[in-house]
Structure 1
Amino acid sequence: ESASQRVSESATLPAPPSPLPAPRSTLPETLDFITARTEFYTHPTALPTVERGSIKLDLHRRDFTINTLALRLDGRHYGELHDYWGGFDDLRQGLVRILHSISFVDDPTRMLRAVRYEQRYGFRIGKRTLELLLAARPLIDRISGDRIRHELDNIINEENAAQMLTRLHELGLLEAIHPDLSWDDWLHSQISNLEPLDPDPAWNLGLDWKEIPLKRALIYTLWLIRLPRAQARGVIKRLRLPRALKNPIRAACCLWSDLPDMSEAKPSEITARLEKIPSLAIYAAYRAIDDPGPSSRGFYGIRAALQAYVTRWRDIAPHTTGHDLQARGLPPGPKFKQILTTLRNAWLDGEIENADQEVELLDRLIREA
């Protein structure tokens, strides 16, 4: 049998069957291996002191009973459930319940986590747990801004963040964090309708704002945008918001208070006002105006102006350059900027519409100079 015959015959053989797809795993992508630990608090609201301990002591330091369940993985005990505090029954009943009466005293941030679990899973906070939560509410004032912000960040990252924040408000926890950390139906609507969050590329926002997820950055900005500047500064300080958010939030508050005065402003005046403002602040105002609430004061016309600034106005520039002015005999100096700004404003306000009209205006400005 020739080699060519063997090749020909092999070419007609059916292809081997495709390998079956690997079964999808429901396991997490990562697993943490830790030593069983116990902990104690030297005083209320302090961070815990941690020592090695038994599995029972380790589970006892959890925040809620539904987080105290453990499965054995060893030999013939594989799959046995450790449930010392009724966590499995609470899980079936949809109940968020703390392990001991001073749990919220030891760590007041557990109050925020209780709400997060309640709203995430559609559970309810147990009656006694709720009583203890309300009693411990003033202790939140002793928790550092960094720890509180970490819990708020976790809530903001959740799919139903608006409902969680509404629940925090209902329980008086937002006011306990800071008296000016208010919440209302307008904010609930804003945050609920935030996603899908896909701003036009013209806003230059991307998926992150200076390494902060855009959703989180925008929620904090919308949350504070209607506050007077002094009150916003107080909340920013209390939550120890990062520098990347401080300036946009302050700028957004200033912009929001200025919007009524901008309703009759020329495009050139609006452009001059917006050029120094971070795009996150402008975008937050743009989103907020979409549903400004009962005191809209004609904001919808301003919303169109904000979009026009982002998509057109900020990129408009005159044909004339500084080199052209020098060629016309003008010495470099402050007059350069004044003339170029006047030319640009004329384009923005529709006073000139072509290059010839720009030259006519330039001639007049040079004569006046």
Structure 2
Amino acid sequence: MELNAILTHEHTDFDAVASQLGAHKLYPSYVPILPRRVNKNVQDFLALHRDVLPFKRIDELPPNTRFVNVILVETQTLPSIKGLRPDTVRLVRVIDHHEKREDLPPDWHFEGQLTGACTTLLVQKIAERRIALTPVEATLLLLGIYEDTGSLTYAGTTSLDLRAAAWLLEQGANLDVVRTFLDHPLTESQRRLYRQLLQNIETVDINGYTIVIAATEFDEYVDEVSTLSHFIRELHDPAALFVVVKMGDHVQIVARSTTDDIHVGRIMEQFGGGGHARAAAAFVDNQALDQVVQRLRALLPRFVEPAHRVRDIMSRGRIRTIHPDTTIREAHEQMVRWGHEGFPVVDENGQVVGVLTRRDVDRALHHHMGKQPVSAVMHKGAIFVTPDESVERVQRVMTEYNVGQVPVLENGRIVGIVTRTDLLKLWQSPQEQPYSREEIARRLEAAIPPAILRLVRAIAREANDMGYSLYFVGGFVRDLLLEQPLKDLDLVVEGDAVRLAHRLAEKYGGRGGG
């Protein structure tokens, strides 16, 4: 018997099964074949709705079945099935939301895009072709999207995932059913394994990222180890999590990440597995648990490299500090004068001993504590980061101490500060990223006549000597960025502008403002 089949990977989750259904709606002559191992929550859903869904099991196929054309969904590897041989298959079409494998056979057809769920790619085409869905079909497809995107909250979720989910709701998808099967209770075996994993947790810190490895050997086979990774991640909140379980003669690794700076898919490729940046898995045969964990530890430094470090976003220049004995009223005056929302608090030895925020000062003044030292209300501790630490480290410091600015220390000296505004810059798309200092300098030199540019630089030097900052403002900035002709030039001083004007008048002539 010749068969056109839709296949996916073992240990099948909702995204894989839903993708099989989606492919069948687009290619009705292809039969979706369930793998031997299907996750428990998927099994339970199919047990209730099998009669109205098109799936067949491998053991239901005639023994002489020969696969002619194959569609692979949510995987780029042909599964091991009797009658399925690469040399006899005429056509293999791959539909996947992971990056295309470099070793994919050249005669295979690849269709893919980086989305949160593979199901999304198929739903998009189903909607475009206006193919009708039953409420059960729409619900299964929505389960696929919700499970792989963490109910549309994982960072890998795209606008396409949201649009596909909205369209499925319009087709009758049932959110109550989705919630029931995504919040599936753990079995007794899963609970035992979960407790065992919690007793064997190792935490490592690499490049400012906290990584958790939970490894154990278990005496029976347990489905859905990936489900346990969700609970462990919720409990420990690491940047990346690796759950490593030896069951029988193989070791299963489930990897999860909260940042693209730790691409767990590439790490799992080293163990013969795969996945994408935020979620991946691997199965390692005939190796001891300690061997696998030791190899994982050795690999991590190669693959944990923050794309953004503190030095990439911190504000540089003269960083104003305050002494712990300074009164709260004096601190308030300095905040008003310089327009700062906080100060690092530094003792007479140059050590950072805390951070003072505008909120601390305002609250203290409200309670008539103006004569008290700032040490009475500041956030105490060695609150700082270093230039080579990760942005995630800054975020953890801010949330731990509830401060909006963190000083940056290098060799014991403050070289910059990171504020909430600096963090927001990372939310900008590449097109929105600010111009580099070099590009701004080039544009200034091209736009401003040399004599005026020399004058501006002289003013900036004087301002800097006085501890002030000088800024271009107004229409000049707009015209500079748009490369339009410049009509006038406005400067603003962060400091005592009148004092600066008198100093410039004394040095270069003219009259200082009063």
What TM-score comes out, normalization by structure 2 length? 0.21
Higher relative contact order (CA 8 A, sep 6+): 1
More helix by share: 1
